[in-house]
């Protein structure tokens, strides 16, 4: 037991007196910290996330009516609503417009609003129209 204690103390003494920290490259030097590179990480699950919000809004609308749909909209745009200014106004419009269209014209009004809101995506992905190039 005494020889083990002596060996541990001798090793600790050698480490402390052994030299500069450069002798141990993996030790506590901040220049050796590895950070992985993110290539377009933010866009990875964009469509899946949009589908999740759409499904949640639809389910809440079916379960609790316009109030449920509005609650999901408030949860989705919570940061924009907190920001204020033009950003808040746009968030309120994105939450309230489909609800108002649904109240006036029923499900067809909500569908019509969504078509107008996503007309660029529909032209690119469903109709396969490319932007005009002179």
Q: pLDDT tens digit string along 94-129?
A: 999 988 998 899 889 988 998 998 898 888 888 888
pTM (2 d.p.): 0.59
| Lowest-pLDDT range of 1-5, 14-18, 72-76 | 14-18
CA atoms within 13 A on the CB side of 70: 13
CB 117 within 8 A of CB 93: no
Would you tell me how many other CB atoms lie within 10 Å of the CB of residue 60? Answer: 19
User: How would DSSP label each residue in 48-62?
Assistant: HHHHHHHHHHHHHHH
For residue 83, the SS3 value is helix
Compute the distance between CA of residue 19 and CA of residue 63 in angstroms, rounded to an integer. 70
């Amino acid at each position: 037991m005494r020889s083990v204690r002596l060996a541990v103390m001798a090793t600790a003494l050698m480490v402390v007196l052994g030299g500069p920290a450069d002798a141990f490259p993996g030790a506590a030097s901040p220049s050796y910290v590895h950070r992985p590179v993110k290539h377009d990480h933010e866009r990875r699950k964009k469509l899946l996330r949009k589908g999740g919000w759409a499904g949640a809004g639809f389910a809440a609308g079916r379960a609790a009516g316009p109030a449920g749909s509005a609650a999901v909209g408030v949860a989705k745009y919570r940061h924009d609503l907190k920001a204020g200014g033009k950003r808040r106004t746009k968030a309120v419009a994105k939450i309230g417009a489909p609800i108002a269209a649904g109240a006036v014209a029923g499900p067809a009004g909500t569908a019509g609003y969504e078509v107008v809101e996503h007309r660029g995506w529909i032209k690119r992905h469903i109709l396969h129209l490319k932007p005009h190039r002179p």
